[in-house]
Amino acid sequence: VQIIQSPSEMQCVARDLARPMAFVPTMGALHGGHLALVSRAHDLVRSGGTVAASIFINPTQFGPGEDLQQYPRSFDRDCQLLDTAGCKVVFAPAPEAMYAADASVTVRERFLSQTLCGLARPGHFDGVCLVVAKLFHLLQPDFALFGQKDFQQLAIIRRIVRDLNFAVNIVAVPTVREPDGLALSSRNAYLSKDERQQASVLYRVLQGAADKWRRGDVTRAEIEDWMAAQLRQAPLARVDYAVAVDPATLQPTSDLTCPVLLAVAVFFGKTRLIDNYLLP
Ligand code: PAF
């Protein structure tokens, strides 16, 4: 795999890559969820195109007091995994190369980012929007792949692409889970043994809520209360949100309509886990 650190070199190399090119942006600490993105990228480009990835722990999407310093780093292992998975190029810039010290331009989404995780993490999605826009400019991918676990991020990125006319197809890839249902996430590494054991509650509750919603015998308020109460049964869980929203707008949905997105965010200690269930 070719590792590129300089943004301008990345821009030049990208122009000559075999097309179509499918791009998997990551912050490293790769797990099976990322490899599922790479695998789907290969399906999209078939044998003629290129699969590229980035590894960049983007400082602008971490708020003050968040885990930027502790975020797991495993660069050599990540590059090996990407190489084995058939990735041709890895873009891995230093933060100073991506952001001038006096950078003063930003990219902000002002609707979808104002709810759910945007409430607990002010500024987070501004950082995501900025870095994704920069990465799209540098690599000019034909496809970019994102996990459905970060449903709000995915929705916001689709909105950037639409509103800023990026010529890239955004491809959503289903969440990859541990055998007990916990969604794979680089942040799972922070969990203690007890927290890890209890963290499977997120998906169990989402599945239970989806069953209730399908049966059609609950209102939105009832299902949200039920999810929060069930999550609290895990003694180490602190619920941030447990909601039923319209997947197109991320606003509270009407009772008993579909599609609906059931979404939860739960703290275990300082670790904030998110998960969701889409009923189409
Ligand atoms: O989902 C992530 O890993 C990050 O938010 C992303 C999209 C790579 C931007 O830094």
> Tokens 């996990």 — which residue?
147
Given ligand 1 and candidates 131, 138, 145, which is best to mutate, with the most ligand atoms within 8 Å of its CB?
Answer: 131
Given ligand 1 and candidates 26, 55, 98, which is best to mutate, with the most ligand atoms within 8 Å of its CB?
Answer: 26
Instruction: Show Cβ contacts of residue 28 under 8 Å, excluding neighbours closer than 6 positions.
Output: 55, 56, 57, 72, 73, 74, 75, 78, 186
- Nearest alpha carbon, ligand 1 atom 1: 26
Structure tokens belonging to residue 218: 């609950």
- Nearest alpha carbon, ligand 1 atom 8: 26
Confidence (pLDDT) at 8: 98
pLDDT digits over 170-189, tens only? Answer: 999 999 999 999 999 999 99
Are 206 and 179 in contact, with CB atoms under 8 Å apart? no
d(CA 249, CA 245): 8
CA of 214 to the centre of ligand 1 (A): 32
CB of 191 closer than 6 angstroms to any ligand 1 atom: no
Residue 4 has pLDDT above 90, yes or no: yes
Does the active-site annotation cover 34? yes
d(CA 78, CA 73): 9
237-245/260-268 β-pairing: antiparallel
CB of 117 closer than 6 angstroms to any ligand 1 atom: no
What percentage of the chain reaches a pLDDT higher than 70? 100
* Ligand 1 atom nearest residue 54's Cα: 8
What percentage of the chain reaches a pLDDT higher than 90? 98
d(CA 242, CA 276): 9
Q: At how many degrees (to 10) do helices 124-139 and 7-16 cross?
A: 50
Confidence (pLDDT) at 134: 98
CA of 192 to the centre of ligand 1 (A): 24
Catalytic residue (one of 34, 42, 124, 137): 34
CA nearest 273: which of 237, 246, 244? 237
- Three-state secondary structure readout of the chain: CEEECCHHHHHHHHHHCCCCEEEEEECCCCCHHHHHHHHHHHHHHCCCCEEEEEECCCHHHCCCCCCCCCCCCCHHHHHHHHHHCCCCEEECCCHHHHCCCCCCCCCCCCCHHHCCHHHHCCCHHHHHHHHHHHHHHHHCCCEEEEEHHHHHHHHHHHHHHHHHCCCCEEEEECCCECCCCCECCHHHHHCCHHHHHHCCHHHHHHHHHHHHHHHCCCCHHHHHHHHHHHHHCCCCEEEEEEEEECCCCCCECCCCCCCEEEEEEEEECCEEEEEEEEEC
Q: Which residues is 146 bridged to in the sheet?
A: 172
pLDDT digits over 120-156, tens only? Answer: 999 999 999 999 999 999 999 999 999 999 999 999 9
Phi-psi region of 260 (alpha: psi -120 to 50; beta: other; left: phi over 0): beta
pLDDT digits over 31-40, tens only? Answer: 999 999 999 9
**Sorting pLDDT into bands at 50, 70 and 90, what band is 90?**
very high
pLDDT digits over 229-278, tens only? Answer: 999 999 999 999 999 999 999 999 987 788 999 999 999 999 999 999 99
d(CA 278, CA 280): 6
